[in-house]
Amino acid sequence: MSPAGPDESDTCRDFVVPAILESGWAKEAIIEQYPVQAEVQGRYLPDQQNRKRRADYVLDVPFALSTNGTGWVLYNTVTGEQSVVDGVPTPEEAWALFSESRGLDETGREYLLADFNNTIRNADGNVRQLRFYQRVAIHRILAAFANGDRRVLAVMATGSGKTFTALQLAWKLTSYRRFQQKADPSLRNYRVLYLADRDFLVGDPMGDFHDVYPEGAVVRVKSRNTQLSPDVYFSTYQALDSRGDSGSDAQEQNVLLANYPNNFFDLVIVDECHRGSAREDSAWRSILDHFTGAVQLGLTATPVDRSDAKTYEYFRNPVYTYSLKDGIDDGYLAPYTIRRVVFNVDADGVEVVEGQVDVHGQGDEGWNVYDEGLRAAPESA
């Protein structure tokens, strides 16, 4: 022991760990030296070298405990309250504090207790774990659903894992329904519709869901092959609305959509929801209006300009936001640099030879010199 008292490692070993175990926490529930920022290729990002943030121990609850080896201070990260406590809260006490701070009823608590999926693997073979902010996003969304919100918005930066977050959210809700079916076998499976406006926004996440859900449980909506038995459906707006942008007669509209009653889905995930489907005058708004029996989750990486915030009007304010700056500060996203480029035409100018045409076969009659980005006057001028 040093003259100033025991060092941190001794305090952790001799005081903290025994206190945690005595409060009833299982060893597997304790994560030591948990990183709260990412490492890139085994190192921290340059601006983080002097602040490698790690928690000595994590119990997967939204509270922080501080100790000097003799007393304890509890900080509630949900309410912001700080108080002196006698020791480490038991799992039951921590869960009760969390449930109370979130205003969770029995359904909300069951939502959060449902299992995540642990079958997805990284390239090294290890289980792909949710990042801390992805867990927070899922719990915020579930809490909103449990509190009766029918339209929920989450803003997550590009590259922060919206698809993986959506997958784990859907799996958690599916797991909860399976739990309910044990008591009531008459309940049908939980059904999810993943909706986007472009094929690749549907195709890419569909592959991830295929890797997790049982065979036949994930399907792409097709106009000539309506299936009603799978659990997860992927579709573009265009596939569900036969009218498209042509503005055809209302009787011809949503021919395929009519195959799915408004209470057919439990959850509708709207990816890149800022693109305009939430606008009242949008060609695709009728699809969202149709599925009134489902809770609807809007996902976007793009903050909406509040001067024309139709997305906010429809989905309300985000229940969770993880910005590009958050991702950079935490080390999960790479910092960006701005590179200014001057095109050679602007820098050097260009002369068009008489009779020369572009790739479309178009000439530039009467103009033959471009200089410093400005179009020169015709030679006859």
**Which of 79, 101, 123 represents a domain boundary (last residue)?**
101
| pLDDT, greater one: 313 or 308 | 313
Is residue 352 a part of any domain in this protein?
A: yes
**At residue 103, does pLDDT exceed 60?**
yes
Residue 250 and residue 294 in one domain: yes
**Which of 71, 101, 131 represents a domain boundary (last residue)?**
101
Confidence at residue 366, expressed as pLDDT on a 0 to 100 scale: 57
Rounded mean pLDDT of 369-380?
53
Residue 132 and residue 220 in one domain: yes
Rounded mean pLDDT of 57-82?
79
- Do 365 and 344 meet the contact criterion of CB atoms below 8 Å apart? no
Confidence at residue 274, expressed as pLDDT on a 0 to 100 scale: 84
User: How deeply is 291 buried, as exposed, middle or buried, from its count of CB atoms within 10 A (0-12, 13-18, 19+)?
Assistant: buried
Confidence at residue 192, expressed as pLDDT on a 0 to 100 scale: 97
Is residue 380 a part of any domain in this protein?
A: no
Confidence at residue 275, expressed as pLDDT on a 0 to 100 scale: 77
* Least confident window among 163-172, 200-209, 247-256, 348-357: 247-256
Residue 259 and residue 167 in one domain: yes
pLDDT in tens, 261-279: 899 999 999 998 887 677 7
Confidence at residue 358, expressed as pLDDT on a 0 to 100 scale: 74
**At residue 294, does pLDDT exceed 90?**
yes
| pLDDT, greater one: 304 or 239 | 239
**Residue 120 CB neighbour total at 10 angstroms:** 16
**Which of 101, 129, 160 represents a domain boundary (last residue)?**
101
Confidence at residue 246, expressed as pLDDT on a 0 to 100 scale: 44
CA distance 89 to 21: 11
* Least confident window among 101-110, 132-141, 294-303: 101-110
- Residue 42's pLDDT band, with cuts at 50, 70 and 90, is very low
**At residue 361, does pLDDT exceed 90?**
no
Residue 304 and residue 325 in one domain: yes
- CA angle, residues 240, 154, 62, in degrees to nearest 5: 140
Confidence at residue 253, expressed as pLDDT on a 0 to 100 scale: 46
Is residue 21 a part of any domain in this protein?
A: yes
Confidence at residue 2, expressed as pLDDT on a 0 to 100 scale: 47
- Supply the range of the domain harboring residue 362: 344-375
Residue 160 and residue 274 in one domain: yes
CA atoms within 13 A on the CB side of 246: 11
Confidence at residue 252, expressed as pLDDT on a 0 to 100 scale: 43
- Residue 339's pLDDT band, with cuts at 50, 70 and 90, is confident
Residue 251 and residue 351 in one domain: no
Cα 17 → chain centroid: 34
| pLDDT, greater one: 316 or 252 | 316
- Residue 365's pLDDT band, with cuts at 50, 70 and 90, is low
Query: What is the number of domains present in the chain?
Result: 3
- Residue 44's pLDDT band, with cuts at 50, 70 and 90, is very low
State the chain's mean pLDDT as an integer.
81
**At residue 50, does pLDDT exceed 50?**
no
Confidence at residue 52, expressed as pLDDT on a 0 to 100 scale: 56
Integer-rounded Cα Rg, in Å, for the chain is 27
CA distance 249 to 240: 16
Residue 96 and residue 114 in one domain: no
The share of the chain scoring above pLDDT 70, in percent, equals: 79
* Least confident window among 106-120, 246-260, 291-305, 340-354: 246-260
Is residue 195 a part of any domain in this protein?
A: yes
- Residue 364's pLDDT band, with cuts at 50, 70 and 90, is low
Residue 9 and residue 133 in one domain: no
**At residue 195, does pLDDT exceed 90?**
yes
Confidence at residue 257, expressed as pLDDT on a 0 to 100 scale: 77
Confidence at residue 276, expressed as pLDDT on a 0 to 100 scale: 67
Q: What is the pTM of this model?
A: 0.75
Residue 93 and residue 122 in one domain: no
Structure tokens at 123: 């390239």
Give whole-number Cα distances, 67 to 86, 94, 128, 206, in Å. 11, 17, 32, 47
